[in-house]
């Protein structure tokens, strides 16, 4: 299979390296100088420096060439941040088969990836590839399980053909809504656990945050039309546990730094990578308000991100909530 990966950040590069063990892969970087540097070094020194590239991985800053590489039976994989998903989809045509890797809501519209694709490319075979997966671990060849979600089972099978090999397992799912809500909300909840851990609130608090966070995520997802079981899977519980507890997470790191008293602007300036939860939190709050879904942890994170509450005040507010039944 011919695979084009659009976007040469940490995750796009890691999956390009993985796919190039068996397929002809073309990685597109928007910056010509970055593409040239990667072509020379045979690695992505800026975003994923430890992974050497297989021979079957080529790089280009020519977007049209990348798309042409994967037309007619190939697969286009969009590895940009959420903010660039719409423009990248617009650069494609309905002849492409597409998966995106980004996890979040589009800040300007509040839409998930599958809704953006339905607007921009209604006839395109499209899906989302998600699950608990730090780029560095995939690049190091460590065992990882992903989920490919699409209403089109043949397309989900194409993601399996592209990536299910060696240390990578790819499961399929017919529920892109659930998979996308899981990926977006877990990022916000990872900021919450980073804050709790940064404040030294302990392991009991972390476990409570993950469990009650899963309840929030599930409530929102079901209200948006997702299948409840999806949230017990890789894109829900799996990615929430990874991102909330793993120090490789950029979203968790944001929470840790905010708890130390660092400003959000300084935190983002030092991160060097995208932390999607920062940009999705407002949409999750607005959507929960619109659908009358209770999401106290997410609301607290947004209060900290906007500066309305300090991390410690947000925790105090959460602890004063009324007792309630645990049932979702
Ligand atoms: N890093 C991971 O471990 C990981 C794992 C799973 C999913 N994701 C998701 O994948 C997406 C990308 O994350 P990442 O870690 O690769 O990000 P990153 O911060 O490492 O890199 C972002 C890349 O996107 C490029 N980019 C930004 N705006 C662009 C635009 N308008 N057009 C083209 N390229 C653009 C940047 O140049 C950079 O190469 C995010 O939504 C993230 O949540 C990341
Ligand atoms: O580093 P984060 O917080 O963006 O998380 C990366 C992946 O989404 C984990 O699955």
Per-residue pLDDT of the chain (328 residues; tens, 9 = 90+): 999 999 999 999 999 999 999 999 999 999 999 999 999 999 999 999 999 999 999 999 999 999 999 988 999 999 999 999 999 999 999 999 999 999 999 999 999 999 999 999 999 999 999 999 999 999 999 999 999 999 999 999 999 999 999 999 999 999 999 999 999 999 999 999 999 999 999 999 999 999 999 999 999 999 999 999 999 999 999 999 999 999 999 999 999 999 999 999 999 999 999 999 999 999 999 999 999 999 999 999 999 999 999 999 999 999 999 999 998 6
Taking the centre of ligand 2 as the mean of its atom positions, its distance from the CA of residue 262, in whole angstroms, is 21
| Per-residue confidence (pLDDT) for residue 327, from 0 to 100 | 83
| Per-residue confidence (pLDDT) for residue 328, from 0 to 100 | 63
Q: What is the largest CA-CA distance in the chain?
A: 60
Distance separating alpha carbons of residues 312 and 83, to the nearest angstrom: 30
pTM for the model stands at: 0.98
Taking the centre of ligand 2 as the mean of its atom positions, its distance from the CA of residue 76, in whole angstroms, is 21
Write phi, then psi, for 46 (nearest 5 degrees): -80, -45
Write phi, then psi, for 142 (nearest 5 degrees): -85, 150
- Note whether 117 and 124 are within 8 A (CB): yes
- Note whether 15 and 47 are within 8 A (CB): no
Q: Helix H segments across 224-322?
A: 239-245, 250-259, 264-271, 276-291, 296-305, 311-319
Q: Which of 5, 6, 9 to mutate to test the pocket of ligand 1 (most atoms within 8 A of CB)?
A: 9
Nearest CA to ligand 2 atom 5: 249
Nearest CA to ligand 1 atom 36: 9
Taking the centre of ligand 2 as the mean of its atom positions, its distance from the CA of residue 128, in whole angstroms, is 15
Return the ligand 2 atom nearest residue 132 CA: 10
């Amino acid at each position: 299979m011919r695979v084009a990966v659009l976007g040469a950040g940490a995750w796009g590069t890691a999956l390009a390296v993985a796919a190039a063990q068996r397929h002809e892969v073309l990685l597109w970087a928007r910056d010509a100088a970055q593409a040239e540097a990667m072509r020379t070094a045979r690695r992505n020194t800026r975003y994923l420096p430890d992974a050497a590239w297989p021979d079957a991985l080529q790089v280009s800053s020519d977007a049209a060439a990348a798309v042409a590489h994967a037309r007619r039976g190939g697969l286009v994989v969009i590895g940009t941040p959420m903010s660039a998903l719409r423009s990248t989809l617009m650069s494609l045509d309905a002849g492409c088969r597409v998966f995106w890797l980004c996890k979040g809501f589009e800040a300007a519209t509040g839409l998930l990836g599958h809704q953006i694709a339905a607007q921009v490319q209604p006839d395109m075979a499209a899906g989302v590839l998600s699950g608990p997966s730090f780029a560095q671990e995939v690049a190091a060849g460590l065992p990882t399980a992903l989920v490919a979600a699409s209403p089109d089972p043949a397309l989900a099978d194409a993601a399996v053909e592209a990536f299910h090999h060696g240390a990578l397992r790819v499961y399929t799912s017919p529920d892109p809504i659930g998979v996308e809500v899981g990926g977006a909300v877990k990022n916000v909840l990872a900021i919450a656990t980073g804050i709790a851990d940064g404040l030294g609130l302990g392991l009991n608090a972390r476990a409570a945050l993950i469990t009650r966070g899963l309840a929030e995520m599930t409530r929102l997802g079901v209200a948006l039309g997702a299948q409840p079981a999806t949230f017990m899977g890789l894109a829900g519980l799996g990615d929430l546990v990874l991102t909330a507890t793993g120090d490789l997470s950029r979203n968790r790191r944001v929470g840790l730094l905010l708890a130390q008293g660092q400003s959000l602007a300084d935190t983002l300036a030092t991160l060097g990578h995208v932390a999607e939860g920062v940009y999705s939190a407002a949409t999750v709050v607005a959507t929960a308000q619109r659908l009358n879904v209770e999401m106290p942890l997410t609301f607290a994170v947004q209060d900290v991100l906007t500066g309305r509450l300090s991390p410690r005040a947000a925790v105090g507010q959460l602890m004063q909530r009324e007792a309630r039944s645990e049932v979702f």
